[in-house]
Amino acid sequence: FMSLISSISLIGLALAGHSAEEWKSRNIYQLLTDRFARNDGSTSGCSNLGNYCGGGFVGLMNNLDYIQNMGFDAIWISPIVKNTPGGYHGYWAEDFYEINSHFGTEQDFVNLITEMHKRDMWVMVDVVANHIGPIGTSLNKVGEINPFNQKSYYHSYCSINWSNQWSIENCWLADLPDLDQSNDFVRKGLLDWISNLVTKYNVDGIRIDTCEEVPKWFWSQFNDAAGVFTICEVDNGSIDLNAGYQGSVDATLNYPLFWLIKNLFQNGQSFYNAVNFMQQEKNSFKDITVLGNFVDNHDNARFLHNYVKYNRFKNALAFSVTWPGIPIVYYGDEQGYAGGNDPNNREILWPNLGNTDSEMYQFVSKIIHFRKEMELWKYDFVDRYHADNFYCFSRGKALMAFSNTDSNIHYTVSYHPYKVGDVICNIFYAADCVTVTTEGVPVYLDQGEVKLYKPK
């Protein structure tokens, strides 16, 4: 009888992957496995960010409190497969069925996921099905690739012409051998691999690299084989282009929002742009509430790079976390990292693992906990007030107010979700409360502040 119970619980584990609907409530912390925490706990520097620095699964497992205490309940980690030399980031597959030993052993990975699940934290594994590691354009070393070990499994070499969709899907990104998904062995091999990876390791969701470079019909099959939430990278600011992938996969990373945030909070563009943007996204996407909202990631210079304005950075982060979608915060943002283009935006975090009192760590913690406490994902977005330098929207009884000017501004928001006499408080300063009057909600933002309000 006991063995029956244990086999049933194992079946339960195997089916624990989570759907897009379930992911809506999650808050994702994105990291590079090699850069978060060293397995041996050492905290010395790393002289070359273009190669391995020593982070891994054990280091991450030993420092989950750092992430969880900010309120995050999901972690996006680097691709886990064995890479060609120098593939610290995980995107240069060599053996799809072996774990990258630089990160640790397979057992280390299993232990990490077990510990995360004990804490009700979900794992999102980054995966690549477009290309392999750089083994040369002649493909002479293709025999070293498992399981795609023949030249016929790849498109013939050409470099991508970004204005041509056929070229984007068939040519090679940065001289990386491009898998031919129309080849039956490749198609089946990739589908078997993702199905196996998700089931074997009890993965909760996957982030898919380079989606635009592979035809949609394949992603549809890949999505079905994975059987969990799939979020795709379409590295383009076009709403229509991104929206075209939703359906083949559950969601895309919200690159259009990434560029909007830059325009609003770095370039000082009018908030009227946000109003139009919301309308366009709603008209184009099947479901905007599952898109991945981010300010920073590993492929772009950080927000603070050459733009050291913390007031704008705080606005940007709060905007991305409270806007409809699933928030993704890139590691290091909570320590005010300001690295430039890759690999300088892939800094080591371990010197700061003890630095949980920092201003940005506390700020990120407040906005993530706010999203969870107010259960923002359950409520529709309502535009309450917009001006060139002031923007206010609500979701449920949460009211968000943003500014992109260093001047002190004051607005009375007459269209709001409260009753006259209600008292609402700004989460960043407990004493900063206002009473709703017959005129509305008086909002004062000084020197580029952001305020998030909830009922007292």
Contact 130, 209 (CB under 8 A): yes
Q: Which residue has the tokens 């068939």?
A: 170
Q: Which residues pair with 131 in a beta bridge?
A: 178
Q: Which residues pair with 179 in a beta bridge?
A: 154
Q: Which residue has the tokens 């054990």?
A: 58
Q: Which residues pair with 122 in a beta bridge?
A: 74
Residue 362: CB atoms within 10 A of its CB come to: 13
Contact 397, 380 (CB under 8 A): no
Radius of gyration of the chain (CA): 23
Q: Which of 209, 298, 291 is nearest to 255 (CA)?
A: 291
Contact 163, 206 (CB under 8 A): no
Give the 3-state secondary structure of 24-79. Answer: CCCCEEECCHHHHCECCCCCCCCCCCCCCCCECHHHHHHCHHHHHCCCCCEEEECC
What's the CA gap between 353 and 342, in Å, rounded? Answer: 22
With b meaning 16 or more CB within 10 Å and e meaning fewer, what string describes 195-229?
eebbbebbbbbbbbbbbbbbeeebbebbbebbbbb
Residues in the chain: 456
What's the CA gap between 221 and 219, in Å, rounded? Answer: 5
Q: DSSP secondary structure string, 377-420? A: GGS-EEEEEE-SSEEEEEETTEEEEEE-SSS-EEEEE-S-SS-T
Active-site positions read 209, 233
The first and second tokens of residue 275, run together, are 């109003």
What's the CA gap between 272 and 72, in Å, rounded? Answer: 31
